[in-house]
Each structure stands twice: as structure tokens, then as C-alpha cells.
Structure 1
Amino acid sequence: MAPNAKHVFYVRYLPSAASYMAVLAQRPDVQLEKLETDSPEDAVSPVVSRAHVYQIGASRQIIPPRLQVNAALLARMPNLIAASSNGAGYDTIDVDACTAAGVAVVNQSGGNKEAVAEHALAMMMTLSKRIVEADRHARTGQAIDRANYIGRELNGRTLGVIGIGNVGGNLARMCKAAFNMRILAYDPLLTAQQVAARGAEKVELDDLLAQSDYVSVHCPLTKQSRGMMGAAQFARMKPEAYFITTARGFIHDEAALADALKAKRIAGAGLDVWEDEPPPHDHPLMAFDTVMVSPHVAGSTIEARENMGRIAAEQVLAILDGKKPPRLINPEVWPAYRDRFTRILGFAPEE
């Protein structure tokens, strides 16, 4: 082991093991360790106690509670300076607990923006053209009345984007360029000028829901966004509108969505994220022909995974070298973080 080694660990998987390890391999002073979800405590304790960075998956179903970044685990990690999520989401990290402990939280936002935006657009097109419905019926061998599968065009219609960051902004760009769509955006974190720079009009959520032909969710799961799309919100949407989400489960109320679809208050939905992942085959939302489903794979392309692995590893090295990470989720931690970093690693990070 190299003198003054810096320790990074992960549980079960990396965003892309090959690209992540290739970047870290250039640094003999950085040691990468792996734990499994069922690793015994005598294996977990030494790894977490010496860790400087935890590279953690964002799936609540994969990472067990005992290995999620919360106050209990942080108490066992006296040398931890950063928790780094594998993707854009950070569901397995308690950001408030990290901030209180002086630990930086980073994600890999933007690393899969092309993949996720393309997936959302694919869902919009497939639902509008009723391709899944027609495909299912054509496979039954029964007679097909083509009049039952008349679709709609995207050209000139209105897209409502909830969260117009990396993915939402990319989707807005695609839809404006390809289909001359009007773009509305609800994003409390951005000014009207910033939203306009992304090609959209900044509006309140109720206005977006009432005017949009497609509502696409691209915000992270936070205390503020949990349950954002419920019965009242679906009731405000147009009857011919579609709801799309490639963000996170729990942002929309699944039971309320099923009720809205059953009552035909909206035309359909494209769902890549779920409260339980993967969703059970008998999930109520699976019963609707007007619902297109995928098991949280919007960002899973070869290109996106390689990119995510690379930028995750590069950000980890930047952190260990004392640089301020480019995708810092809790910037308010920086003063306390600098004190802890200096004490743990023996040199001060940048101001």
C-alpha cells in the first residue's frame, strides 16, 4: 500500500467498473475497496472506518439500510470526507446528516443527460403514436381495426418540464429543434432568465399542468419534491395529455396516477421509475394499455455508463486533491468540510 494512501470504497457495483477503475488506476496513492450488500460486520467495519470517499449506488432496493449514508453509518466513518452517488440521484444519502457531519455530497448529474432525455422523448413518441397498444394487439392474431390506433403528432405541441437541469434542458432542446414545441418549465431553483436560456418559459406548476400536452419530470427526489404529483395535480392536466417520468419514484403518487388513468383524466403515462424497483408484474399501473413501462433503465446506455464511470472517478480524484467538486449537492458544508479535510488529510483544500 502506498504511503499516505487515500481510501475509496463501494458496495456491489460502480457506475462503470472499467472506466472508473481505469481513471483511479493512474493514482497508486488511491486504494479502491469493494464490499458486498451482505458483507459481514467484521469485513465492513475496517473498510468504513478508514474510508475517505464512499462511492455509493442510488438504488434503495440494492443498497441495504445499514450501508446507506445516514447518521448511524457516518458515526462509524471518522475519516469520510465525501459521499459520491453513482448517478444523478442520491436517494441512499442523507444530505442533511452529511452536512451536519461536515461531509460533502456529490452526484454525477449530466453524465447520462443524453440517454435519459432520449428515453423520455422515446416514451413521448411511442405513446403519442400508440405503438405499444398496436403492437400488443397485433401479436394476438385478432383482426385489427386501424381506426382504433389513431395517434397524435408532436409537432407544435406543448411540453411541460418539471426540473429543467441537465436532462430536462436537453429534452427541451430536442423537442424544440425536432418538433417546434413550446416548452414550459417549473423549476424553483432557476430564474426566468436562466430558464429562457434553456429555451423555455418559467411558469408555476399549476400553469404548466394545465397547458402542457406532455408533462415530463426531471427533478431529484427531495423533501420538497416527494409526492409533488398527486391527485390534485393529475386533475389539472388535460384529458389528452401524457405524464412521463424518468426521475425518481415517490415524486408521483402511483395510486393517484392509476386513478387518473382509470377515470381517463389523462391519456396515458410513460414510467421508468417506481416506488419499488423493479415493479411487480401485477402492479396496478401495468394493467393499462396506455401506460408504457421500463424498469429504471433510462440512463443505462453503453455510452452513458462509461461516461458516468469516468466523471465519477475524476470527481473523486479532484476531491482527494483538495479541489472543490463540480457537482456538490450541499455547498453550505464547505467551511466545516475544509476544517475536517485539513485535519484528516493534512493539507487544506481550496477556498
Structure 2
Amino acid sequence: MAKVLVVGDPLLTSEALKKAVHSTLGEHTEVVCADWKPASDEEFWYLRSIVEKNGPSVGKPPQELYDLAADVDLIITQHTPINAQIIARAQKCSAIGICRAGVENIDVQAATKKNIAVFHTMGRNAHAVSDYTIGMMLCEMRNIARSHAELKQGNWKKQYANAGFVGDMFEKTVGLVGFGYIGHVVAKKLQGFDVEVIVYDPFASQAVIEEAGAKKVSLEELCRRADFISMHARLSPETQGLLGAEQFALMKPTAYVVNTARAGLIDEQALIEALQTKKIGGAALDVFWVEPPAADHPLMNLDNVTITPHLAGSTKDAFSRTPYLLLAEIKRTVLEGNPRWVVNLNDLSLDLKALK
């Protein structure tokens, strides 16, 4: 019988994870619960942010994890940092499952050395982020947030920075940078707007992109043609600063840049300069290079940008759905093989017998 350690956080509690384990793996499964409880919401978001950037070694996981990890077959968590020291104590563990697509909070290298498979949850918030992405497109083009803020201040304002080119979505060209789960869903949802979708993703085949009703293009062509440029790539050394001064120089002066992925995909200073000099029409950003941004950050004073505090993937539906998706995939892999969501598959020999 498998023994599972579930580690909750302020967004997804250990009790919710325990319920998903029993529902998916069976009521007989032994579950050990722990929760990562930073002192405040502010501390949680701060620690989450620095772990995203610098890895699990800078986090502050619950002290009890160092002991609890020693006697379990499977660890399930979401945002809690699982560092090399915890993994070193995990003598029986076969797999670590993460209720998110990114694995920045897990020391994957340490897990691989111990032959521990690291599962992530692909597409877990694809609907949440894709909804938000399209909302941000509409919000920036139609000045929805700005007009709301003005009216709240008692101002009946109808003219904004893009007054000369406010448009409709109809027949616009939307460029998607990255075509993974979220990019696919964005493309599908955009079909109802009668737009042309073009895609830059060197790892997605032309056949897959065309099957989704889109066209594969180079990054240069996408920047030249798109009315909206929406970021959906993973952040890596190869994609860091993917949009920089060179790319902004290619864009239409009416183009909008939307980022609900990772701030590092865009060169911060190049974007600020493009907005300040009106090289592009505007931007809609849900992610930042430092979160939260400083009160005097240049973006705070620009009239051609919509900014929100990293909300795109944060819906109750997405959080509650995720552990069931993850555990179902782990169970399928144990029973059938053919792992799909194991991030370190190429570097280990998969042995999940302990989970059967």
C-alpha cells in the first residue's frame, strides 16, 4: 500500500490534496498531511516569487517535511519548496507530483540523482489563463480598466491614448509566442472572434499548428504582422528576453503586447521604452520582473498599459481541478506506463512499483 505525503499551501490545502488522493488512488491509501504556512499572505507571495526565480533552496518549507519525507512513497504539493535536503531524506520515495506546470519549487536535479520521478500538471490552468489572456486583449484595446478607474473617480472620460486606433477584434491578427497547452486553448477560443492566428514556436510542428487553424511563422514575421502579440512560452535561458528592442522595432505602432506567462520573456527596459515612445499601441501585463513592482515603477505612470497582480491562473476551478488531473496521470503511468508528464524522464530509469 502506497504512503503519500501531501503538502498544502494557502491556495490548496493538505485536506483538499488528501481528498483528491483518496478519490483517485483509493480510500485505503495512507496519507500524511502537512501545510506550508508563511506568516502572512504577503510573505507567501514573496517567498513564492523568489523561489520561482532562484529555486527551492531559498524557500522556507515546513520543518516537519525533513522527517515526514523519509517514510513515504509519493510526495504531492503545489507551491511548497522541496529542496535538496528534503529530497535527500526521501529514502523510499518514487515520485514527486507538482500541482502546477512549472517545477521551479522542486530541486529536480537532486530528485533525478535519487531516481525520483518529478511529475508536473500540464494544462492545469489552461482555461483560466486563456480566458484571462483574451480578457486582457479586450481590456487594453477597449480601455475597459482605464475607463472604469476614471468613472470611479467621477470622470466621464471617453478618449484614451489609443483614441486614434481603437478597433474591434474582428479580422485582427493575433500572434501567439509559444504553442503549448495554453497557446492551443487561446487559439481555439479566438476562433469565435474571426481573427487570423499566427504562431511562433520552434518546438511545435507546422501540422499541429495548422490543425488548430493557425499558421506557423518566424518571430520576425509575427512581430511585423500581429495586432496582438501574446506570450505563452516557458521561461528558459533560450527564451529570456525573447522580445527585446529589435522585436519592438518591428511591431506596428498600433500593436498590443499581452503577457500572462513569465515577465522574463520580455526585456523590461525595451518594453518600457516602446511604451513611453509609443513605438507600440499598448501592453497588458499580469506578470512582472519583480513582484510586486515598486510603487514608482515606470509602468505605474503610463497611460497605455493595463496591469494586474499575477491573477491569470488563479481561479478556484483551476486549483480544485489540478490534484485530480495530476493524480490521475500518475495512476495511469503506474498502470500503463508511457509517462507523459515526467520532467526528468530522460535522466532516470522509471520505477514506480512502490506506488502500485
Same fold (TM over 0.5): yes
Q: SS at 2:89's partner residue?
A: coil
Q: 1:140 to 1:179 in 2, by over 3 A?
A: same
**Cα distance, 1:309 vs structure 2:** 2.9
Partner of 2:69: 48
**Alignment partner, residue 267 of structure 1:** 281
Cα distance between partner residues in 2 of 1:32 and 1:237: 53
Q: How does 1:161-172 map to 2 (within 5 A)?
A: 161-172=176-187
Instruction: Please state if 1:141 is matched with 2:141.
Output: no
Can you give the 5+ residue segments of structure 2 that lack an aligned partner in the other structure?
A: 39-59
Aligned counterpart in structure 2 of residue 116 of structure 1, from 129, 133, 138: 129
Query: 1:24 aligns to what?
Result: 21
Distance 1:125 1:145 in 2: 16
Structure 1 residue aligned with 2:50: none
The 3 A distance-change label for structure 1 pair 280 and 316 is: farther
Write out aligned runs for 1:95-114 (5 A): 95-114=108-127
**Do the aligned partners of 1:35 and 1:44 also contact (CA within 8 Å) in 2?**
no
Q: How many residues align?
A: 330
Q: Say if 2:94 is the partner of 1:81.
A: yes
Q: Does 1:297 align with 2:307?
A: no
State the partner residue of 1:155.
170
Contact (CA 8 Å) 2:4, 2:30: kept in 1 or not? yes
Query: Using the alignment, how far apart are the partners of 2:63 and 2:312 within structure 1?
Result: 37
> Would the aligned equivalents of 1:115 and 1:299 in 2 still touch at CA under 8 Å?
yes
Q: Give the alignment's Cα RMSD to 1 decimal.
A: 2.9
Q: Which amino acid aligns with 1:162?
A: V
Note if contact 2:173-2:226 (Cα within 8 Å) is conserved in structure 1: yes
Please give the alpha-carbon distance, in whole angstroms, between the structure 2 residues aligned to 1:301 and 1:223: 29
Distance 2:308 2:11 in 1: 21
Amino acid at match of 1:173: K
Structure 2 CA distance for aligned equivalents of residues 148 and 260 of structure 1: 14
TM-score, normalized by length of structure 2? 0.81
* Aligned equivalents of 1:18, 1:9: Cα separation in 2: 8
Q: Shift in Å at residue 160 of structure 1? A: 0.5
Q: 2-side partners of 1:280 and 1:180: how far apart? A: 39
Seen in structure 2, the aligned counterparts of structure 1 residues 78 and 252 have a Cα distance that, compared at 3 Å, is farther
Q: 1: distance between equivalents of 2:343 and 2:286?
A: 24
Segment of structure 1 superposing worse, 242-251 or 120-129: 242-251
CA deviation string 1:306-343 (max 9, x = no partner): 22132123334445667444423333145x223xx45x
Over 3 Å counting, the alpha-carbon distance change for 1:34 and 1:168 in structure 2 is same
- Residue matched to 1:8: 5
* Residue identity in the other structure for 2:31: Q
Residue 103 of structure 1 contacts residue 333 of structure 1 at CA under 8 Å; is this kept in 2? no
Q: Normalising by the residue count of structure 1, what TM-score does the alignment of the two structures yield?
A: 0.82
Per the TM alignment, residue 118 of structure 1 is displaced from its structure 2 partner at its CA by 0.9
1:189 and 2:203 correspond:
yes
Counterpart selection for 1:225 from 239, 242, 253:
239
Deviation, structure 1 residue 72: 5.0
Deviation per residue, 1:234-275 (Å, 9 max, x gap): 222221111111112322222321122112111111111223
Instruction: Give the gaps of 5 or more residues in structure 1.
Output: none
Aligned residue type for 1:33: C
Give the distance between the partners of 2:294 and 2:332, measured in 1 at CA: 40
CA separation in 2, counterparts of 1:13 and 1:139?
Answer: 32
Q: State the 1:24 CA deviation.
A: 1.3
- For the residue of structure 2 that corresponds to 1:185, the secondary structure is strand
Amino acid at match of 1:7: V
- Superposition deviation, residue 116 in structure 1: 0.9
The letter of the residue matching 2:181 is: N
Opposite residue 9 of structure 1, the aligned amino acid is: V
- State the identity as a percent: 28
Question: Which residue number in structure 1 is paired with residue 141 of structure 2?
Answer: 128
2:287·2:310 contact (CA, 8 Å) conserved in 1?
yes
Q: Distance in 1 between matches of 2:273 and 2:6?
A: 43
- SS of the equivalent of 2:64 reads helix
